[in-house]
Structure 1
Amino acid sequence: MDTDNLHIVVFPWLAFGHLLAFTELSKRLAQHGHRVSFISTPKNIARVFPKIPSHLSHLINLVEFRLPNVEHLPEDAEASVDLPSDDLRPYLRRAYDGLDHQLRLFLQRASPAKPDWVIVDYAAHWVPAIASEFDVPSAYFSGFNAAALGFMGPPQSLMGISNTRTTPEQFAEVPEWVNFPTTVAYRGYEAREIFEPSALPDASGVSEAYRFGKTIQDCQIVAVRSCSEFEQEWFNLLEQIYRKPVIPVGFLPPLQRETRFLEEWKSTMNWLEKQTQRSVVFAAFGSEAKLTSALVREIALGLESSGLSFIWALRDSSGLPKEFKKRVEGRGEVLTGWVPQSQILAHPAIGGFLTHAGWGSIVEGLGLGLKLVLLPLMFDQGLNARHMVEKRISMEVPRDEEDGSFTGDGIAKTLRLVMEDEEGEAFRTKVEEYREMFGNEELNDRCVRDFVNYLSDHKRNSGSFKMG
């Protein structure tokens, strides 16, 4: 435990992947003896902190900010998962921006025992300026890996000041500031899908890219959910293009994993107990993607024709092919609603993970030594998939380069290759190698320790704080 105890405010964006990453970081900061004020909305706090581990409860303070009412935003929406359509995301960002006065009041009331640091998410581009009013330095914590950040580029490019991308095609090629060979870039169909919602100003008043750039520019340091042993060249690049310290905080796998299944999941547990070790595929595509009936149908056909045993976490089963559940009875289970993903992934029967390539899911899967098949759907997922394939850790489901469509047959063949075929042995060997890295608690703890040592050495009263 560190002797120089800090008070750290964390302020995540209102999306589950971000909330969970900030939650894991908060627990690890508290585990090192530091006091954490975790700020979010009441509904989100209840979701990610249903119970604080007893040995950390005296160090984690849950602070509820209430979202202001915003036109077009559903009344009970406090996270992107609550939105009926992606078109409403800008209004959630506008409501999030409306938390500025509550943050200012929180910091004002904390005086004279102000926080030593504020750790912010990409969307909170206005937080560093508020924190500086109280002489509190800010750190940007990225739930994205260093490769994804490197592809996104320097703050000036993100903010539209210089080297600005003005066409979707520019997102489908490796940018000029990347000074080493790589395949990390969007496909053409991905670039066309992300260009307008990320590069152009939306109803919140600024673009997603601007939020990234402004936050990175105004924070004193950047912390990244990764480690230099995994992607040293990308960390070196970030130091060059950000011109400020970039610190790995480790992969942040779940610190405590509940191993006991609740009563309602006993039938799933019993089914898993009957399966051969490492034979079952778990399929899940995160909380953000809203799968169309066509996508659900192809995924279903892929799981069915693979011949493999599987569990599929599916939010809405209405798009399933007729009699699908009957045809796979005994070999596959479809679970709807909330699913205890961490517990299922950790079960000895699970050997493969068909995933959307969200960074948190990749971290969890590799930390458990699971074979990954990647089907990226949105955001940074395409970049993550290229990164994993480049390192020969996993395989992507084949897609049409023009429209991004895929087939059940493509899913089935990729699953069988990675799980069983002789051709996939190299991937299975790589997974075991990287399990030693991603699941290495000593390495993850060392990264967090180095991070908090930096925070201690550069806290607000050290004389080294300045904006930007």
Structure 2
Amino acid sequence: MASPHILVFPFMAKGHTFPMLQLARLLLRHGATVTLITTPGNRPFISSCLSDTTVSIIDIPFPQDVQSIPPGVESTNKLPDISLWPDVLVATKLMQAHFEEVIESLPRISFMITDCFLGWTLDSAIKYSIPRLACYPIGNFPLCLEHLVSEGRFVAGEDGIKLADFPWIKLKREDFEPTFIDPEKVKGN
């Protein structure tokens, strides 16, 4: 039986890319063939992180004609203002034709793992009948906090908020948006 060929496509932000690079390494250890899609501007970072692996890296161009994104910017860490990140997100949709050209040029792909912010890759996966897994590379700690808040397991005190099950973690109320601590505040809006 041939090894599975997995296509990996992270979003152009280091906080999203790095976990997917680690995932690519794990897939290799389990005998998979891994191809990773990136842009020319992100390739040096990715290549340096994966230089000791057999991951194939393929570049597709990042759109250069997006008015709000300065020329040469291909990742959120290069933006002059982080408020422009939604524009990067929207611009990635313009990469779909190049992404599909890569799919057509590669040996049979067993499945693809793409970043949750690259939702349009689902359309490509359906078009080519390739199973797709959306990766949410957020850390578990924020998800756990959200769960604890929803269960009412925050304990408010004068010295801040303590997690009942983790008393050594101390957070101040001002560390959070008010709606995170009290989701009821946004229901009327």
TM-score, normalised via structure 2 length: 0.76
Q: Shift of residue 150 of structure 1? A: 10
Larger Rg belongs to: 1
Q: Shift of residue 397 of structure 1? A: 4.5
The structure 2 residue matched to 1:68, chosen from 46, 58, 63, is: 63
| Structure 1 residues 85 and 20: CA distance shift in structure 2, 3 A | same
- In 1, Cα distance between the equivalents of 2:67 and 2:25? 35
- In 1, Cα distance between the equivalents of 2:171 and 2:142? 21
Q: Shift of residue 149 of structure 1? A: 8.8
Q: Percent identity?
A: 20
**Structure 2 contact 69–87 (Cα < 8 Å) conserved:** yes
The structure 2 residue matched to 1:95, chosen from 53, 77, 91, is: 91
Query: What 5-or-longer segments of structure 2 have no aligned partner?
Result: 155-160, 179-189
After superposition, what is the alpha-carbon deviation per residue over 1:75-98, rounded to whole angstroms, capped at 9, x for unaligned?
A: 121111111212211211122111
Q: Shift of residue 398 of structure 1? A: 2.6
Written as runs of structure 1 = structure 2, the 5 A alignment for 1:101-250 is 101-110=97-106, 113-144=107-138, 145=140, 148=143, 174=150, 181-183=151-153
**Structure 1 contact 10–36 (Cα < 8 Å) conserved:** yes
The equivalent of 1:37 in structure 2 is 35
How many matched pairs? 169
- In 1, Cα distance between the equivalents of 2:2 and 2:145? 33
The structure 2 residue matched to 1:398, chosen from 156, 172, 182, is: 172
Q: Secondary structure at the match of 2:166?
A: coil
The structure with the greater share of residues assigned to strand is 2
| Structure 1 residues 394 and 122: CA distance shift in structure 2, 3 A | farther
The equivalent of 2:182 in structure 1 is none
- In 1, Cα distance between the equivalents of 2:21 and 2:5? 16
- In 2, Cα distance between the equivalents of 1:89 and 1:402? 22
Q: Shift of residue 140 of structure 1? A: 1.4
Matched to 2:7, the amino acid is V
| Structure 1 residues 183 and 12: CA distance shift in structure 2, 3 A | farther
- In 2, Cα distance between the equivalents of 1:7 and 1:75? 34
After superposition, what is the alpha-carbon deviation per residue over 1:108-130, rounded to whole angstroms, capped at 9, x for unaligned?
A: 222xx321001011111111121
Q: Secondary structure at the match of 1:49?
A: helix
**Structure 1 contact 114–136 (Cα < 8 Å) conserved:** no
- In 2, Cα distance between the equivalents of 1:74 and 1:91? 11
| Structure 1 residues 72 and 24: CA distance shift in structure 2, 3 A | same
Q: Secondary structure at the match of 1:99?
A: helix
| Structure 1 residues 63 and 182: CA distance shift in structure 2, 3 A | farther
- In 2, Cα distance between the equivalents of 1:142 and 1:132? 20
Q: Secondary structure at the match of 2:11?
A: coil
The equivalent of 1:82 in structure 2 is 78
| Structure 1 residues 119 and 403: CA distance shift in structure 2, 3 A | closer
- In 1, Cα distance between the equivalents of 2:98 and 2:124? 11
- In 2, Cα distance between the equivalents of 1:4 and 1:147? 39
Q: Shift of residue 131 of structure 1? A: 1.2
| Structure 1 residues 77 and 121: CA distance shift in structure 2, 3 A | same
Q: Secondary structure at the match of 2:19?
A: helix
After superposition, what is the alpha-carbon deviation per residue over 1:160-202, rounded to whole angstroms, capped at 9, x for unaligned?
A: xxxxxxxxxxxxx62xxxxxx3548xxxxxxxxxxxxxxxxxx
- In 1, Cα distance between the equivalents of 2:142 and 2:175? 22
Matched to 2:69, the amino acid is L
Q: Which moved more, 1:388-397 or 1:15-24?
A: 388-397
Matched to 1:22, the amino acid is M
The equivalent of 2:187 in structure 1 is none
RMSD of aligned Cα (Å): 3.0
Written as runs of structure 1 = structure 2, the 5 A alignment for 1:439-458 is none
The equivalent of 1:9 in structure 2 is 7
**Structure 1 contact 39–63 (Cα < 8 Å) conserved:** yes
- In 2, Cα distance between the equivalents of 1:394 and 1:103? 46
Matched to 2:169, the amino acid is M
The structure with the greater share of residues assigned to helix is 1
- In 2, Cα distance between the equivalents of 1:51 and 1:134? 30
**Structure 2 contact 21–49 (Cα < 8 Å) conserved:** no
Matched to 1:12, the amino acid is P
| Structure 1 residues 4 and 19: CA distance shift in structure 2, 3 A | same
Q: Secondary structure at the match of 1:78?
A: coil
**Structure 1 contact 71–91 (Cα < 8 Å) conserved:** no
